[in-house]
Amino acid sequence: MACIPPTQLTRCFMATAELKRHWSRVAALNCCISNQPNPSIHHVHGGSMRDIKLHKGLGQKTSDWLVIPLHPRYHYDGPDAIDGGGITVREWEEKYGTQLEFLEMVCRRLGVDVFALAGLDHKVSFK
């Protein structure tokens, strides 16, 4: 089962069954950086998401569909974690890869267009 940080617990109780299934499928992919099992799900924000105009602003998540699997070290519990670390989103993306790339990878691996599910106009190549 995926590790869900305390800050995401309230979201779980408000999520639909379909969304919870999606989160479970994403978490089952393992961490997109280290391939370690039991990742938490990270709602993408800033950085590459801002570049394609899918960022809503500081503290505002884009969509519950736009999540990637990250080991806690890279998500919220490490010196260079994207949420809570000592580096910016841009620095994190330069070091590990862009959130957009990881999100598109999730789409291809699950065979689902999460951008469409989120009601956003971004084309994903499934090749």
Is residue 8 within 8 A of residue 41, CB to CB? The reply is yes
Predicted confidence (pLDDT) per residue in 16-42, tens digit: 999 999 999 999 999 999 999 999 999
pLDDT at 10: 42
pLDDT at 1: 43
Give me the CATH topology for the region 6-117.
Herpes Virus-1 (3.30.40)
Q: Work out the pLDDT band at 102, boundaries 50, 70, 90.
A: very high
pLDDT at 56: 58
pLDDT at 59: 58
Between 4 and 105, whose confidence is greater?
Answer: 105
Predicted confidence (pLDDT) per residue in 50-89, tens digit: 888 776 555 556 789 999 999 999 999 999 999 987 899 9
Is residue 63 within 8 A of residue 26, CB to CB? The reply is no
Residue 42: beta bridge partners? 68
> Can you give the pTM of this predicted structure?
0.82
